Amino acid sequence: MPAVVLLVTGCSGGGAPNPPGAQSPPPASSAQSTAAPPASQAAPPETSAGPTPPPAPAAEPAPPPAALSDLELAGLQSLPVGDLPGWKQVFTEDFTLSDVPIGAFPGPAYQARWSAGYKDGTPDTAGQASGGQSGYYPSKVLSVSNGTLDWFMHSENGVFMGAAPTPRIPNASTAPPRANSLLYGRVSVRFRADSLAGYKTAWLFWPDSGVWPRDGEIDFPEGDLADYIYGASHWADPDPAAADVFFSKSRFPSWHIATTEWTEGRVAFFLDGQLLGAGITRTPNTPMHYILQTEACLPACPAPQTQGHVQLDWIALWSRV
């Protein structure tokens, strides 16, 4: 699949969810950012019960990339299970254990393997600068239905709401220890989203150290939900603008499989089995953790009436061997 690679000037970091005992997320920079919220959490605004979410569409077969064989296409549509050459599988999820209503994720079925991430009222990247106009509200956003993890992206009382859940995967970090960390890793996700201008994904590896931009960042799939999907390898470098970015010609409403392969000296991005590109400059080389960061208002907020769904059909992670 053709892609465009850019050296970004003006794109910056992401952030980690804040489950009990975890570090506080890092502060935002002045540049446009996918950074996580600051250590202090804003109190949730007073809200009503909120709108009733429209039914989420069920998962359907991914559109086939023309360059792949029928066998390869069939393999893409299914949750990949098992080790791969150079990779040991450490986590899989296809959300078939149970449905979970909004307000109850992860619930008994998923709580051993998932965190809902930031608490309600935590400002997201843009919300740090706007005083909380956008933020993370997992109790109003996350649910499981039709075999998918679902984000109901919407606003209440002028606040645009997202969520940043995380899988619990084996620990590679000792400073501090955490149950969601890898030093080099591979992640593959099958996802889609309604076309929602002003909402975005930045599903990312964020450094366990919390030191950004020094320790880098890896984002994929990233992009405004009404625009093109891209991947970004942020350099482990003092310059917050230094990154390699690879744009696809695909948009969010169709089902896609995005795969990130992070190895020593290389970060490669694949969309629907096709290589978008690989960053090889100052790639991250310290333990990082994976976050399904989904937020709003970068660079502009949605229209107040904008609402819809982001869906994750399955996710698989591998550690490097």
> Which residue, chain included where needed, has tokens 């002028």?
158
Choosing among 3.40.640.10, 3.40.190.10, 3.10.580.10, 2.60.120.200, the CATH entry for 4-10+86-320 is 2.60.120.200
Q: What DSSP assignment string belongs to 266-288?
A: EEEEEETTEEEEEE-SS---S-E
pLDDT at 10: 35
Q: Which residue type occupies 107?
A: G
pLDDT at 114: 97
Q: pLDDT digit string (tens) for 61-97?
A: 434 444 455 555 556 789 999 999 999 999 999 999 9
Query: Before 284, cis peptide (omega within 30)?
Result: no
Higher-pLDDT residue of 160, 19:
160
Residue 37 has pLDDT above 50, yes or no: no
β pairing state of 148-156 and 308-320? antiparallel
Higher-pLDDT residue of 127, 70:
127
Contact between 189 and 314 under an 8 Å Cβ cutoff? The reply is yes
Instruction: Tell whether pTM > 0.85.
Output: no
What whole-number percentage of the chain has pLDDT above 70?
A: 74
pLDDT at 54: 52
Chain-centroid distance, C-alpha 310: 11
pLDDT at 169: 87
Residue 22 has pLDDT above 90, yes or no: no
Q: pLDDT digit string (tens) for 159-190?
A: 999 999 999 986 766 656 677 889 999 999 99
- Buried b / exposed e along 93-132 (16+ C-beta atoms within 10 A): bbbeeeebebebbbbebbeeebbbbbbbbbbbbbbbbbeb
The residues facing 206 across adjacent strands are 289
Contact between 28 and 128 under an 8 Å Cβ cutoff? The reply is yes
Contact between 288 and 187 under an 8 Å Cβ cutoff? The reply is no
Looking at every residue in the chain, the average pLDDT score rounds to: 83
Compute how many other C-beta atoms are within 10 angstroms of the C-beta atom of residue 7.
12
Residue 18 has pLDDT above 60, yes or no: no
Residue 205 has pLDDT above 80, yes or no: yes
Q: pLDDT digit string (tens) for 267-303?
A: 999 999 999 999 999 999 999 999 999 999 999 999 9
Residue extents of the structural domains in the chain: 4-10+86-320
